[in-house]
Every structure is written in structure tokens, then in C-alpha cells.
Chain A
Amino acid sequence: MDSTSAQDTDAARLRADITALIRAAQAGDPAAFEALVCQFDRGVLQLARRLAATEQDAQEIYQETFLKAYRALHRFRFECAFSTWLYRIAANTNLDYLRRRAVRKELPASASGEDGAAPFPDPADRAPGANPEQLLLSGEIAARLEAALAGLNPRERLVFELKHYEGMKLKAIGDILATSEETAKNSLFRATRKLRAALADLHAAAPALAALRPEPGTMPEEV
């Protein structure tokens, strides 16, 4: 199909643009660094918002990620895709954040009190066209799921987010975490096992959930 080759050309052009931007930023052009930021930062912020407890935390993770990238840019040697390099930094920054929080959670004083900033709005509030009953159902499930996710260890949490909510392949997740696809897969399975155990009651008591997806026999060919 012609559009495929056009997409290939676009992808090649984008890669060439990114390469030129990296070189210019490495040579000290601040506009080039900002342009690079603009190419990737929505995804970085999105990931941070999924993992962070508050919008403010997400903004801090975003900033720390790009400051680290800025300081380390002269060491980028084009040995992997820039996006992989950048997401590696983002992943580590998120992991650091989750680890700091895990430590803080063990202290009784800060166990319940958040930093004063409002948590994210309940995503169910925004689900368009959902009926109230379903809204209630998904709101409750989302809250339970959120709590269960918070119980995972940082690495499992990150892998689960990258897989199920960023839609990344296990191979790419392995690259980002500087590990193998197999190791990423094991982390994902551990996370899944823990989550399913934590949500077993919901899972068993909500046959309605299965109805949210089509029956196996009529499954559309996409996931």
C-alpha cells in the first residue's frame, strides 16, 4: 500500500529531524533541546501522572526526568533510539519516586495524609456515555485497582503500567529497564498474580465485567 511507504518516509524524516536536534542540543543550542522536549514530553508526563499520587508529584517527575536528560545529553551516543534512552531516564525517575513513597508510607505519621494537593479526578467522572450504574461500578473498581497497584513493588508497578496503560511491548519494556524481555515478562506475571489476589473478590463477584468484553467466540482481532 502506498500509504505504508509514505509512513516509512515520514518515520525516516522524523528520525532524521530528531537526530539533527540531538546533535544541535549537544552542541549547545537551547532551542534544539526544547524542541526535543516537545517531541517526547506528553508521554513522559502521562506516565508520571499514572504513577504519581498527585498532579504536583507528576510535574516534579516530569521536570526531574528532563533535567537529568539535559545533564546527560552529552553522553548520548546514538547507541539506541533516543526515545528508549529518554524513557530509561523517565523509568528510573519514576522508580525513585515510587521507592521514596514506599519508604514514606512505612512511617505512621504520613500514612494517611497526602501533601495537600488534590488527587487526580476519578476517571469514571469523565467516561462519556456511561450509565450511572456502570459509572458507579467502574469508579469503585478503579479505586480498588488503584489501591492494589499501590501495593506492588516499584518495578512491578512500572512494568504493569508500561504494559497495560502505555501499550508497550515486553521487548520495549525490557529495553527501557535495561533488562531482557523474559525478565520484564516475569515482573509482569508477578504483578498480575499479586493484583489478581488482591482483587479476587471483585474479580469473582463481577461476572458483569466479562460482559464488558465480547465472548471469546466473537472476539474482534485486536488487543
Chain B
Amino acid sequence: MNCQDAQALLRTLSCGEATPADRAALEAHAAGCPACRQRWQGEEAWLALVAQRRPAPVSDAALAQARQALHRALAAEPAPAARGGWRWPAFSAGAVSRQWAPRWSPAWAALLLIAGFGGGWWAHHAPSLTAGSPAAAAQVRVQTVEPASAPGQVRVVYDLVRQQQISGPATNPRLRHLLLLAASQPANAGMQLESIAALRPAASQNPVRRTLLAALTGDPNPGVRLEALNALRPLVTANAGVRAALAQVVLRDPNPGLRMQAVAALAQAPRADAGRWLRRLSVQSSDPYVRLNCVAAMQQLDLAPPAAAWGAFTAQPAPASGIQRQ
């Protein structure tokens, strides 16, 4: 290889597209050519300089904010051209209105819940508030949630036009509604935890379960996600949506403790379902401890782990990423 070839390779290198073979060829040439060796060092110094710029990664909070704003903007959009099947229901953030019939396509549930649309999701699927006019309902803000004096009862203080409070069991529809509202407000994690704890007995009801699933897969606070996971645990045997959401937690939750809890919860599913999910996760997860845990759980259930799971302990699958790289 001559110096001209070497410089072509250096250009490829500065594009970040040099192969190991390119590097080996460069190395062979640079060993006997001080001029090219110096040029190479110059390229490497340049790339090092470029690498000094590392913008902070996108936080979950920033993403949630963007999604909520997008949801509001979409609500104001006319139905797409030539479609006209539906319209985005209008809503304002954090508000509740009676006009939205819950609309839910189970097939997309798991995917949608992976990241959760936060307040947007909540408003979109919120059941109607029974009392008051829609205009008044739009002003509801939950202030506090705390256990009431009677066992199994909870007290919620909220603002409508003026401050009010209501106590009773979480199965009371109006109370339940306020608890759901409070459980979906990431601004106040303490209140979220109280609300989720209070909602536990009602976890099998559709709107409660949806809110818990949204918290499990989308809440920025790991404590809230764990509380939601525990509230959903009893549903693992009966509900496929809960199992799918748990699997998403195993694959995507940034908190390793939660990932393990989700594996343990999935292992409590009926044997065939547990086997299916654990088998998949033991190969798909990018976290070796998760893969190990899945295999251990399968062995406890007398299920054979897939051969690929063992290989996967050494080979690291690529983490799921938003951008598809070619």
C-alpha cells in the first residue's frame, strides 16, 4: 500500500467507517511511514476532539413532556385526509371530561404502554367523572390522598371550584376516579404511591388496571412503578395484558431491581404462559442477570431453557433502540 491508499483509508477513518481490515492495513503502512503515522495521529486527535461533545441523554421526563404536548396538538388536528373514521378527542392537560368514551385496542395496548403517554394516556382513557358539569370537572385537582380512619377506606382532598373532600372504600366510583387521577400525576410521587396502594383491591377493574399498567411502564419514578407492579401481581395468572406489560418491564425498565421483580412476577403465571415469556426473555434481554434469572425460574418450573439462552450469557444482544441503524 502506498501513501495515497493510506490517505484514502484515513478519510474513511475520519468518517467513522473504517473496518478492522482497514485499520490493519493502515497499521502495516504506518509502521514504516512516519508521515502517514503522523497524519493518523492527527485524525485520531480530531475524532477525540469531536467526542468531547456529549449532550446529556434524553430524560424520561423530557420525553413524557414532549409526548403530552404532542397528544394535545394531535387533539386539535382534523381527522387525517381521506380517512375520517375518527377524531382526536379534545382535552386539556391534567383535566378530566366526560365526553371521552374509553377507547382501547387491546392489540396495541402492550406497545402503547411500553413508554406510556403519561397524562395524555390518562386523559384519553379516563372514565367520566360522575359529579358536576364537564366544565367543573375540567378543574379537578387532587390535593392529598390518605388512609381514612375506618379500615379499607381512603380520604381524598381535591379542588373543584373550592376545596372538598370525600372518604370511603376505593370501590366507590367517584373516589376511585379521583384516585386514578392522583395515581397518574408524576408531579407528586407520594400521592401516587398512596393512591396505588388504595386502588389495590380494585386492580382487576378495567380502568384501574389500565392506570396501573400505565404507571408500571411509563411512570418516571421507580418507586411508583414498583408499587404498580405489586398491585398488578395478583392479576398475572388471569391477565395476558399484565404479563405482556411485565415482559416489557423486563426488557426496558432502566431499574435492575424492577426488572428482577418483573421476572419473579412472570414466573407466577400459569406454567405454559410463564414458560413462553421466560423462554423469550432469557434470549431477548440485554441484561445477563435477567437472562440468568429467567433460566433459573424456568428450571424451578421444570422447564428446559432454550439453548440460545446459554449462548446469550456470553454474547450481548443489542439493546432496543429507537433508531434503526443500518
**A residues lining the B interface (CB < 8 Å):** 1-7, 10, 17, 20-21, 24, 26-35, 37-46, 49-50, 55, 59, 62-63, 66-67, 70-71, 73-74, 81, 83-84, 87, 120-121, 123, 126-127, 138, 141-142, 145-146, 149, 163-172, 175, 185, 188-189, 192, 196, 199, 202-203, 206-207, 209-210, 212-213, 215-217, 219, 221, 223
Q: In the bound complex, how far is the Cα of B80 from the Cα of A126, in angstroms?
A: 43
The answer to whether B325 touches A172, judged by C-beta atoms less than 8 angstroms apart, is yes
From residue A3, how far is it (CB to closest CB) to chain B in Å?
5
Q: Any chain A CB within 8 A of the CB of B187?
A: no
Q: Any chain A CB within 8 A of the CB of B311?
A: yes
Number of A-B contacts (CB under 8 A): 226
Q: In the bound complex, how far is the Cα of B69 from the Cα of A62, in angstroms?
A: 10
The answer to whether B108 touches A169, judged by C-beta atoms less than 8 angstroms apart, is no
**B residues lining the A interface (CB < 8 Å):** 11, 13-18, 20, 23, 26-27, 30-31, 37, 40-41, 44-58, 62-63, 65-67, 69-71, 73-74, 77, 79-86, 88, 103-105, 107-109, 111-112, 114-117, 120-121, 124, 283-284, 306-308, 311-312, 315, 317-318, 321-326
The answer to whether B83 touches A123, judged by C-beta atoms less than 8 angstroms apart, is no
The answer to whether B323 touches A166, judged by C-beta atoms less than 8 angstroms apart, is yes
Q: Chain A residues near B80: list those with CB within 8 A.
A: 28, 70-71, 73-74
Closest to A167 in B: B325
Closest to B36 in A: A216
From residue B267, how far is it (CB to closest CB) to chain A in Å?
21
The answer to whether B55 touches A123, judged by C-beta atoms less than 8 angstroms apart, is yes
- Nearest first, the 3 closest Cβ-Cβ pairs linking A and B are A28-B85, A2-B308, A43-B322
Q: In the bound complex, how far is the Cα of B104 from the Cα of A2, in angstroms?
A: 37
Closest to B44 in A: A213
Closest to B78 in A: A71
Q: In the bound complex, how far is the Cα of B16 from the Cα of A84, in angstroms?
A: 21
The answer to whether B55 touches A49, judged by C-beta atoms less than 8 angstroms apart, is yes
The answer to whether B23 touches A70, judged by C-beta atoms less than 8 angstroms apart, is no
Q: In the bound complex, how far is the Cα of B322 from the Cα of A146, in angstroms?
A: 25
The answer to whether B66 touches A145, judged by C-beta atoms less than 8 angstroms apart, is no
The answer to whether B16 touches A63, judged by C-beta atoms less than 8 angstroms apart, is no
Q: Which one, A20, A70, A219, contacts B77 given CB within 8 A?
A: A70
Q: Which one, A1, A45, A145, A163, contacts B16 given CB within 8 A?
A: A163
Q: Which one, B14, B27, B44, B88, contacts A192 given CB within 8 A?
A: B14
The answer to whether A35 touches B111, judged by C-beta atoms less than 8 angstroms apart, is yes
- Additional A-B contact list (16), CB under 8 Å, known A2-B308, A192-B46: A31-B104, A35-B111, A38-B115, A41-B67, A46-B322, A49-B62, A59-B62, A62-B66, A84-B324, A165-B55, A170-B17, A172-B326, A202-B49, A216-B27, A219-B23, A223-B47
The answer to whether B53 touches A63, judged by C-beta atoms less than 8 angstroms apart, is no
The answer to whether A3 touches B308, judged by C-beta atoms less than 8 angstroms apart, is yes
